[in-house]
Amino acid sequence: MHQEFAANAPAERLESALEHVCVPGTIWTVSAQGKLTVPRASLTPQCKVWYHFLKTRLMPSTHVQTVSKDRILLLDSIISGRAIDVGRIIFQNLGTCAAKKCDSLWFPSLVSSLCTRNGVPMFDTEERLLCSSGVITKNTIARLLHGQMAEGPTQSPRTQNDDAGQAPQAPTSNTDAASSNRDSTQADLINSLQMLERRMSLAEVQQYQTMELLQQMHS
């Protein structure tokens, strides 16, 4: 289980998690308060896509440049296939959001559904929810993967051969291989995201059933 894996993780486990989800050479950054983070740019391409999912659907975050220790450990559990109690994570984050007393609203669709199921009145003057920004499509994945490639070295479109009047060399088969690898990675990520989406939907159903049972016990 992820909860056991992440609870009081020793230094060796933290370093192992970095090796799994980050590019080689990544180290922890320690804040003045002792909090551990890593730059988001240090994530592997696969984990950049998963992190986009985490910060928009499972563990909301306003930090776009850094990734916290808890999210690194959760990324490690996702790519390693550990069992994850999604309902528990959502419940904990709802409590965190309520305690912060900020203007942001986490899990708006879930909260709205719970209010509707419990008969909370909805008024016409209330603000309506917009489409979720966390929707992950093939274009989203391509954009995230392209962002990773853009961080690497790039080649100028004009070479010395062009300046000398010589014809530019034809692209090599490496381009086709890279494109094939990207397509394969995108397909694997989409399948994994769809599987986790089904697990999250099941966890939400179980949450509803538990809340109904608790209400019946108190009524």
Q: Domain total for the chain?
A: 1
The answer, yes or no, to whether residue 13 has pLDDT greater than 50, is yes
- Asked whether residue 219 is assigned to any structural domain, the reply reads no
Of the pLDDT bands very low, low, confident and very high (cuts 50, 70, 90), residue 183 is low
Highest mean pLDDT (candidates 23-37, 54-68, 121-135, 162-176): 23-37
- Asked whether residue 16 is assigned to any structural domain, the reply reads yes
- Asked whether residue 144 is assigned to any structural domain, the reply reads no
Share of the chain above pLDDT 90, in %: 21
- Asked whether residue 201 is assigned to any structural domain, the reply reads no
- Asked whether residue 21 is assigned to any structural domain, the reply reads yes
What pLDDT sits at residue 154?
33
Q: What would the mean pLDDT of 109-127 be, rounded to a whole number?
A: 80
Give the domain extent around 15.
2-117
Nearest CA to 22 out of 63, 51, 1, 2 is that of: 51
Helix/strand/coil (H/E/C) assignment for every residue in the chain:
CHHHHHCCCCHHHHHHHHHHHECCCCCCEECCCCCEEEEHHHECHHHHHHHHHHHHHHCCCCCCCEEEHHHHHHHHHHHHCCCCCHHHHHHHHHHHHHHHCCCCCCCHHHHHHHHHHCCCCCCCCCCCCCCCCCCCCHHHHHHHHHHHHHCCCCCCCCCHHHHCCCCCCCCCHHHHHHHHHHHHHHHHHHHHHHHHHHHHHHHHHHHHHHHHHHHHHHC
What pLDDT sits at residue 161?
40
> Which residues lie closer than 8 Å to 73 by C-beta, 6 or more apart?
2, 5, 6, 9, 14, 17
What does residue 203 show for φ and ψ, rounded to 5 degrees?
A: -65, -40
Highest mean pLDDT (candidates 38-42, 63-67, 99-103): 38-42
- Asked whether residue 34 is assigned to any structural domain, the reply reads yes
Distance of CA 40 to the CA centre of its chain: 11
- Asked whether residue 165 is assigned to any structural domain, the reply reads no
What pLDDT sits at residue 170?
46
What pLDDT sits at residue 60?
80
What pLDDT sits at residue 57?
78
- Asked whether residue 122 is assigned to any structural domain, the reply reads no
pTM confidence score = 0.61
The answer, yes or no, to whether residue 163 has pLDDT greater than 70, is no
What pLDDT sits at residue 95?
81
Beta bridge partners of 22: 43
What pLDDT sits at residue 134?
53
What pLDDT sits at residue 36?
94
pLDDT digits (tens, 9 = 90+) for 27-51: 999 999 999 999 999 999 889 888 9
Tokens of 117: 């199921």
The answer, yes or no, to whether residue 174 has pLDDT greater than 80, is no
